[in-house]
């Protein structure tokens, strides 16, 4: 017993198959408490990717600032009457290009419309187009990408070639051509559908890669061994575990679709002139840019702040959902 105790508490030199001076040092067991280093706290609650992401987001200043901006923008879009009681379509040529006054902090445009009121009401139109386009793009792109990545073979080949065809078409140029072909009908849904038609490609490529990675993980093999069908695996297991990169690109792309709507309206092929939008107001103000730049500045500033808020949100979500970017 005493010899065993001595061997455990004192250094041991392993001299087997060693040249002189190359003996291996073996530390005593009581000096290497591996049970403390490698132990797992069984009492700690289990966490998921989304719980870890939320824990990271709520302490990220970038996320907090962007979330507050987006909440304010959404509130303006839902309740514009809280900020102004004016009618955005009421214009009086007697007020043409009048400077700011009481109740009209941004002044008037060339048609005598209140710039502040039109900027506030334009929030609803631009935000609605951006959100609707993003939702449809994410749905369509996720379905096509998931089917291509999961089934592979000829399905992947056909859908990948279809994706390549639409990828070769610039979204702005394609939207202009299609909208010129259907100028007889003008509505928000027409703009949204055109954006969806040309905007699903990036989401599909990312969804395909995420699904191809997720289908080779152990949970899919285990589910198949338990008798689950491939389609059930795809819907219940693979797609939910592939949503992180799709959510990131959707959040970031929302700002791009708001800019695209404003660009189309600026070019005169977007929303009708009777619809209050930032792009339409920017287009109407371009002729008086040198004499009255403030008329163009306010809708442009509102557009820039909105897009910046969603880009900041996308960056924060990307950092939170990427485990490699999180520190322990």
Is 209 found in the same domain as 125?
yes
Quote the CA–CA distance of 28 and 6 in Å, as a whole number.
10
Q: Are 24 and 158 in a shared domain?
A: no
How high is the pLDDT of residue 99?
A: 87
Residues 13 and 71 in one domain: no
Query: Side-chain half-sphere of 134: how many Cα atoms within 13 Å?
Result: 22
239 and 313 share one domain? yes
Is there a domain that residue 197 lies in? Answer: yes
**In a domain? residue 38:** no
pLDDT for residue 8 = 47
Given a cut of 70, whether residue 10 has pLDDT beyond it is no
Whether the predicted pLDDT of 129 surpasses 60: yes
Q: Domains in the chain: how many in total?
A: 2
How many C-beta neighbours within 10 Å does residue 193 have? Answer: 15
Domain that holds residue 224: 49-325
pLDDT of residue 265: 84
Pair (19, 86) in one structural domain: no
- Whether residue 207 is contained in a domain is answered as yes
- Residue whose entry in the numeric block shows the structure tokens 């791009």: 256
Is 44 a domain residue? no
Q: Calculate mean pLDDT across residues 141-159.
A: 90
pLDDT band at 180 (very low <50, low <70, confident <90, very high): confident
Kindly report, residue by residue over 196-249, the tens digit of the pLDDT.
999 999 999 999 988 888 888 777 778 777 777 778 888 888 888 888 888 888
- Taking a C-beta distance cutoff of 8 angstroms, is the pair 188, 253 a contact? no
The pLDDT of residue 72 = 95
Predicted local confidence at residue 221, as pLDDT: 76
The more confident residue out of 113 and 289 is 113
Average pLDDT rounded to a whole number, residues 293-321? 88
With contact defined as beta carbons under 8 Å apart, do 276 and 121 qualify? yes
User: Looking at residue 320, what is its pLDDT?
Assistant: 83
For 185, how many CA atoms within 13 A lie in the half-sphere containing its CB? 9
On whether residue 35 sits in a domain, the answer given is no
pLDDT class for 158, splitting at 50, 70, 90? very high
Residues 13, 147 share a domain: no
Domain check: are 17 and 120 in the same one? no
Q: How far apart are CA 21 and CA 6, in angstroms?
A: 23
If we measure between CA atoms, which residue out of 194, 125, 201 comes closest to residue 161?
A: 201
Do 6 and 64 have their domain in common? no
Mean pLDDT for 187-201 is: 89
For 47, list phi and psi in degrees, rounded to 5: -120, 155
Whether the CB-CB separation of 288 and 297 falls below 8 Å is answered with no
Residues 199 and 319 in one domain: yes
Which has the closest alpha carbon to 316: 142, 122, 61, 133? Answer: 61
The CATH number linked to 142 is 1.10.3720.10
- For residue 133, being part of any structural domain is answered with yes
Candidate from 26-30, 62-66, 248-252 with smallest mean pLDDT: 26-30
Average pLDDT over every residue of 313-320 = 85
**Distance (Å, rounded) from C-alpha 214 to C-alpha 256?**
28
Query: Can you give the pLDDT at residue 328?
Result: 43
Q: Structure tokens of 44?
A: 């700690």
Residue 43: inside a domain, yes or no? no
Residue matched to tokens 């719980």: 51
Q: Cα–Cα distance between 179 and 28 in angstroms, integer?
A: 79
- Clarify whether residues 109 and 22 are in a common domain: no
Mean pLDDT score, 261-269: 85
Is pTM beyond 0.85 here? Answer: no
For residue 117, name the pLDDT band (cuts at 50, 70, 90).
very high
Is 22 in the same domain as 102?
A: no
**20 and 56 housed in the same domain:** no
């Amino acid at each position: 017993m005493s010899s065993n105790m001595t061997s455990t508490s004192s250094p041991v030199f392993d001299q087997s198959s060693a040249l002189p001076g190359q003996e291996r040092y073996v530390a005593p067991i009581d000096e290497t408490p591996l049970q403390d280093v490698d132990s797992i706290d069984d009492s700690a609650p289990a966490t998921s990717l989304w719980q870890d992401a939320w824990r990271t987001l709520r302490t990220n200043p970038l996320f907090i600032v962007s979330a507050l901006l987006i909440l304010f923008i959404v509130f303006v879009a839902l309740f514009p009457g809280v900020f102004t009681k004016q009618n955005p379509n009421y214009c009086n040529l007697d007020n043409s290009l009048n400077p700011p006054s009481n109740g009209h902090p941004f002044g008037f445009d060339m048609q005598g419309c209140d710039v502040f009121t039109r900027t506030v009401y334009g929030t609803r139109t631009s935000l609605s187009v951006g959100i609707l386009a993003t939702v449809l793009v994410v749905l369509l792109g996720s379905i096509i990408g998931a089917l291509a990545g999961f089934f592979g073979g000829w399905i992947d080949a056909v859908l990948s070639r279809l994706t390549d065809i639409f990828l070769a078409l610039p979204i702005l140029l394609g939207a202009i051509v299609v909208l010129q072909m259907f100028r007889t009908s003008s509505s928000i849904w027409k703009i949204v559908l055109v954006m969806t038609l040309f905007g699903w490609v990036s989401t599909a490529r990312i969804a395909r890669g995420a699904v191809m990675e997720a289908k080779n993980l152990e949970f899919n093999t285990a589910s198949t061994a338990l008798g689950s069908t491939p389609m059930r695996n795809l819907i219940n297991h693979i797609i939910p575990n592939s949503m992180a990169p799709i959510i990131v690109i959707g959040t970031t792309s929302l700002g791009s679709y708001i800019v695209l709507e404003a660009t189309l309206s600026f070019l005169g092929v977007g929303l009708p002139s009777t619809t209050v939008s930032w792009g339409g107001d920017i287009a109407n103000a371009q002729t008086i840019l040198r004499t009255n730049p403030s008329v163009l500045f306010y809708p442009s500033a509102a557009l820039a702040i909105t897009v910046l808020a969603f880009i900041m949100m996308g960056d924060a979500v990307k950092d939170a959902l990427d485990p490699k970017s999180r520190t322990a």
